[in-house]
Amino acid sequence: MAGDHETGVMVMRMGPGLDTGPVALTERIEIGADETAGQLHDRLMRLGADLMGRALAALSRGALTFHEQEGETVYAKKIEKAEARIDWSRPAREVHNHIRGLSPFPGAWFEAELGGKPERIKVLRSALADGSGAPGTVLDDALTIACGGGAVRLVELQRAGKGAMAADAFLRGAAVSAGQKF
């Protein structure tokens, strides 16, 4: 959600505090520009399993060494439900990162009037797009939405009680037109 470009995994010895022990092995990876938290989780899971295998092999040979952590520990606070709501007044890159960082869970969402009643829509994937207008305004028939600066195109969405669907499938079942405000 913060727009970080890199993350990673570590094998460490448990210490008395949360994440305070010495580190044995570290692997860093680049975060893709459109990669969601769920996709990143799956890559990190495989990387972590591989790293743990290497750590256990080194431990069995007596070659696993540890070093103290450097820098300050930073903890992520719990995300409240209200924070998952998309704020279209934010710049497009921030909106895009917000969507990516919350996908698939808990899921960034917005409300739209569909069929005469408000409905909560979860956005699972987005892409940066060209366009401008009043924040939250639908700009075209491809679900490009104006933000506080720039625009995002909604790529994958989920209506309440339904499965995830591509934007074109969503549009076949929801009357959304250019000029509509989310």
What is the domain partition of the chain in residue ranges?
6-60, 81-173
Asked if residue 21 has pLDDT above 80, the reply is: yes
CB contact at 8 A, 155 and 97:
no
Asked if residue 74 has pLDDT above 80, the reply is: no
What pLDDT, in 10s, does the model give residues 22-46?
999 999 999 999 999 999 999 999 9
Confidence of residue 180 (pLDDT cuts 50, 70, 90): very high
Fold of 81-173: Methionyl-tRNA Fmet Formyltransferase; Chain A, domain 2 (3.10.25)
Neighbours of 81 (CB within 10 A): 8
* H or E stretch covering 11: strand 6-12
Asked if residue 125 has pLDDT above 90, the reply is: yes
Rounded-to-integer distance, Cα 130 and Cα 140, Å: 11
Alpha carbon separation from 69 to 55, 90, 101, 136, 145 (Å, rounded): 17, 35, 26, 43, 43
Of 67-76, 77-86, 96-105, 112-121, which one has max mean pLDDT? 96-105
Rounded-to-integer distance, Cα 67 and Cα 25, Å: 9
CB contact at 8 A, 148 and 137:
no
